[in-house]
Structure 1
Amino acid sequence: MTQPVPLTEIWRGPRPESVHLGHAVICDAGGGIVEAWGNPSEVILPRSSAKMIQALPLVTSGAADAHGLTPAQLALACASHSGAAIHTERVQGWLAALGLDDDDLRCGAHYPQDREANKALVCSDSAPCQVHNNCSGKHSGFLTLNRHLGGGPEYIDPAHPVQKAVFEAFETVTRETSPFYGIDGCSAPNPACTLHGMARAMAWFAGASDSGTVVERAAVRLWQAMVAHPDLVAGEGRACTDLMRACSEPVALKTGAEAFFIAILPQRGLGVALKVIDGGTRGAECAIASILVRLGVLDSEHPAALKYRNAPVVNWRGIETGMIRPAAAIA
């Protein structure tokens, strides 16, 4: 099948009112497809779901160890954080240790998603800084690698040594030659691949050994950092954080803009990648939670699971009017 299939349905009354179509792939550690919905060969931009791949050169180059990076910092390098104090204070400390500051970042500024941090800025009539950007941890990783490589300040340039190292890592773990790249919201290039390629890369992370090659050991350090610090990977009330905490075994999860999602299941040697084609985040969150339930690592009755799948839709008076539920194919 090459067409997108229903992954998530929004019910109102006795029937679906809206349907989110998409593609999803589950791969084993050898890169083979275990199960798929829609078109595994669909070419996609994984957006922020690729951050653990983008962080590989930070570790394999020796930069992470040379600068004494902690698991918390490695988790931030893979994060799309909410801009809460636990995120921004760590990023500021990281930059200070490099002798750098906010102006050295190239991710741009936006208001934090964290409610308290957002309120504090608005009430003080202060503008956000680049550390509030959800990608500031990734960019701190880029700056650390750049310091190690001795590159120039424009580390987001596709021709820069930092991005050349990222592209090489991306093509190695997806086992594909990237056909093109797009510029992400944080201004860094984002390589394209097939959905199968992304699931294959996540399965490679899942199957990597901490006694294996340099790049395998790096992969293990990164997913372990994510699992150890789910609050830094996203933030309170966010799907990545909620679902990582809820899983019955270590699972690394990462969302990406425009309704992308990945999962790394190390104990099962499985990787998951999915894309909801309308870009609807609620559709992707329901779909990834449903696949985790399907794989037996998330209890369908866990409050976090119920928050994203089979979740009630209520109106402004608190009356339940419908439900967000997985489509039959992945239910």
Structure 2
Amino acid sequence: MMAPADLIELWRGGMRESVHQGHAVVADARGIVAAWGDPGAVIFPRSSCKMIQALPLLESGAADAAGLTAEQLALSCASHNGAAIHTSRVANWLAARGLAESDLRCGAHMPADKDENKRLTCSDESPCQLHNNCSGKHAGFLTLNQHLRAGPEYIEVDHPVQTAIKSAFEDVTGETSPGYGIDGCSAPNHACTVTGLARAMAAFAAPQGDSRGRAMERLVQAMCAFPELVAGEGRACTNLMRAMGGRVAVKTGAEAVFVAIAPDRGLGIALKIMDGGTRASEAAITAILVHLGLLDADHPVVATYLTGPQKNWRGIVTGELRRAPGFAG
């Protein structure tokens, strides 16, 4: 097993203060194009693999039978902010299927969206499961579950919904998963290597003409068309997709995982920051996108996540993030 590579550094006062290590792979249909750290490192992809988890929704015919829109497909891949644009759409989706918020199994948490968070904080209303960042994914699970006519506990690892997802996951990663963990939304999350995750993203970038390929293409197109539904205002996924004009789909996962799908180049990208730092995963994916020519180095979003100065609470410049020597340079 290879050691993780230095990917992102924080400098202060002319000295390197911190370093974020990790693993990253760029792949195409033929294999690895570039790699840093250990391509064989086993990780939990967390929410970065939601487009894989959505494949059975389309491949089964459930999405078309339910008349799902591109917006709903984007939400099925989302880790959203719980803003009104997210919760209202998920609520309407459930209602159209004869379902309710109580049918979800993702749990409730306060939304990341500032306006909705303030509204709840200043009222007697508690957050509900619609506010969960994974509620769109779970609405997709429920839609698939209705199509399969299976039981209500769709998050159980041996439930038909989850066995279909595991099968799709192992197919597109090209690996037998060594195990699974329970994600923040209570669904199983299957492990794979960083290469396997990049391989899957490359498959989404250059889909075949079969039913799976058409499902992959529809999901990527939905994400790129509605970046505000995939994450939300102020989020890296939304901002990066907008900056690239809908040509590249990107998706984060908890504990500093990030993926990207670049159909124009047939490339898939996957990375994991070992300390779980979101600051570093956002900087690292930005660095790779610039390195590959997918993102203009002069676009303001690059300064937001990578090259811009670090400031303290008084607005004084205190340091900067840098690509580590040898990484995406």
> How big is each residue's C-alpha offset from its partner over 1:197-243, in whole Å with a ceiling of 9 and x where there is no partner?
0000000110104xx10001000000010000000000001000000
> How big is each residue's C-alpha offset from its partner over 1:255-293, in whole Å with a ceiling of 9 and x where there is no partner?
000000000000100000000000000000000000000
Per the alignment, residue 276 of structure 1 pairs with: 273
Per the alignment, residue 328 of structure 2 pairs with: 330
Shift of 1:249: 5.9
Give structure 1 regions of 4+ aligned residues with deviation exceeding 2 angstroms. Answer: none
* Residues 4 and 22, structure 2, Cα contact 8 Å, conserved in 1: yes
Per the alignment, residue 220 of structure 1 pairs with: 217
2:311 is equivalent to residue 314 of structure 1: yes
* Residues 234 and 241, structure 1, Cα contact 8 Å, conserved in 2: yes
Per the alignment, residue 125 of structure 1 pairs with: 124
Moved more, 321-330 or 59-68: 321-330
Task: Measure, in 1, the Cα distance between the counterparts of 2:10 and 2:328.
Answer: 15
2:33 is equivalent to residue 38 of structure 1: no
Per the alignment, residue 169 of structure 1 pairs with: 168
> How big is each residue's C-alpha offset from its partner over 1:78-133, in whole Å with a ceiling of 9 and x where there is no partner?
00000001100000000101111111000000000000010000001311000000
Task: Measure, in 2, the Cα distance between the counterparts of 1:306 and 1:95.
Answer: 39
Per the alignment, residue 105 of structure 2 pairs with: 106
Instruction: Say which SS state the counterpart of residue 26 (structure 1) adopts.
Output: strand
Shift of 1:29: 1.9
Per the alignment, residue 114 of structure 2 pairs with: 115
Per the alignment, residue 189 of structure 2 pairs with: 190
User: Which residue type is aligned with residue 225 of structure 2?
Assistant: A
Please list, as runs of the form range in 1=range in 2, the aligned pairs for 1:235-314 lying within 5 A after superposition. 235-247=232-244, 250-314=247-311
Task: Measure, in 2, the Cα distance between the counterparts of 1:222 and 1:292.
Answer: 20
Task: Measure, in 1, the Cα distance between the counterparts of 2:263 and 2:293.
Answer: 13
Task: Measure, in 1, the Cα distance between the counterparts of 2:306 and 2:261.
Answer: 20
Moved more, 278-287 or 308-317: 308-317
> How big is each residue's C-alpha offset from its partner over 1:52-102, in whole Å with a ceiling of 9 and x where there is no partner?
000000000000000000000000000000000110000000010111111
Shift of 1:16: 1.5
Identity rate of aligned residues, in percent? 65
Shift of 1:305: 1.2
Task: Measure, in 2, the Cα distance between the counterparts of 1:79 and 1:51.
Answer: 7
Per the alignment, residue 140 of structure 2 pairs with: 141
TM-score, reference length from structure 2: 0.98
Task: Measure, in 2, the Cα distance between the counterparts of 1:85 and 1:301.
Answer: 33
Per the alignment, residue 29 of structure 1 pairs with: 29
Per the alignment, residue 157 of structure 1 pairs with: 156
Task: Measure, in 1, the Cα distance between the counterparts of 2:306 and 2:99.
Answer: 43
> How big is each residue's C-alpha offset from its partner over 1:145-166, in whole Å with a ceiling of 9 and x where there is no partner?
0000001000000000000000
Moved more, 266-275 or 249-258: 249-258
Moved more, 4-13 or 87-96: 4-13
User: Which residue type is aligned with residue 330 of structure 1?
Assistant: A
* Residues 29 and 200, structure 1, Cα contact 8 Å, conserved in 2: yes
> How big is each residue's C-alpha offset from its partner over 1:166-218, in whole Å with a ceiling of 9 and x where there is no partner?
00000000010001000000000000011100000000110104xx1000100
Task: Measure, in 1, the Cα distance between the counterparts of 2:322 and 2:136.
Answer: 33
Which residue of 229, 234, 247 maps to 1:232?
229
Moved more, 77-86 or 310-319: 310-319
Instruction: Say which SS state the counterpart of residue 19 (structure 1) adopts.
Output: strand
* Residues 249 and 267, structure 1, Cα contact 8 Å, conserved in 2: no
Instruction: Say which SS state the counterpart of residue 309 (structure 1) adopts.
Output: helix
Instruction: Report how many residues are paired.
Output: 328
Task: Measure, in 1, the Cα distance between the counterparts of 2:181 and 2:247.
Answer: 31
TM-score, reference length from structure 1: 0.98
Instruction: Say which SS state the counterpart of residue 51 (structure 2) adopts.
Output: helix
User: Which residue type is aligned with residue 255 of structure 2?
Assistant: E
Shift of 1:247: 1.3
* Residues 23 and 39, structure 2, Cα contact 8 Å, conserved in 1: yes
Shift of 1:326: 1.9
Per the alignment, residue 64 of structure 2 pairs with: 65
Give the root-mean-square deviation of aligned CA atoms. 0.9
Task: Measure, in 2, the Cα distance between the counterparts of 1:193 and 1:60.
Answer: 22
Shift of 1:311: 2.1
Task: Measure, in 2, the Cα distance between the counterparts of 1:48 and 1:36.
Answer: 22
Task: Measure, in 2, the Cα distance between the counterparts of 1:46 and 1:249.
Answer: 23
* Residues 311 and 325, structure 1, Cα contact 8 Å, conserved in 2: no
Per the alignment, residue 17 of structure 2 pairs with: 17
